């Protein structure tokens, strides 16, 4: 790796916390989470109601976290047998 002349980086923790708690970050997480759910639903050949999303603020880092989850037995089978959600992430 080439030497860029940078020999010290100082992270300002309050600044990172503000970014992680911002509306822009929430929107980015919601968008990415929905895109994964949409791909998983497109991969779902088992029927049912498919996959849904949830975005929560929390954890020790106090940031937004997105979840994609099954909604019924058919979507559970679509993931376990076909990897519908897993393929939606890749």
pLDDT of 6 reads 84
Q: Using one digit for the tens of pLDDT, what is the confidence trace for 4-60?
A: 788 888 878 888 889 999 999 999 999 999 999 999 999 999 999 999 999 999 878
Closest to 88 measured CA to CA, from 56, 48, 52: 52
Please, which pLDDT band fits residue 90 given cuts at 50, 70 and 90?
Answer: confident
CA distances from 15 to 20, 21, 23, 26, 55 (A): 9, 10, 14, 16, 22
Q: What is the pTM of this model?
A: 0.83
């Amino acid at each position: 790796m080439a030497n860029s002349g940078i020999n010290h980086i100082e992270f300002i923790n309050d600044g990172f916390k503000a970014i992680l708690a911002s509306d822009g970050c929430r929107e980015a997480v919601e968008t990415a989470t929905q895109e994964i759910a949409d791909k998983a639903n497109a991969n779902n050949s088992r029927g049912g109601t498919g996959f849904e999303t949830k975005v929560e603020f929390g954890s020790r880092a106090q940031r937004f976290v997105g979840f994609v989850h099954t909604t019924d037995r058919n979507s559970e089978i679509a993931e376990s047998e076909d990897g519908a959600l897993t393929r939606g992430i890749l």
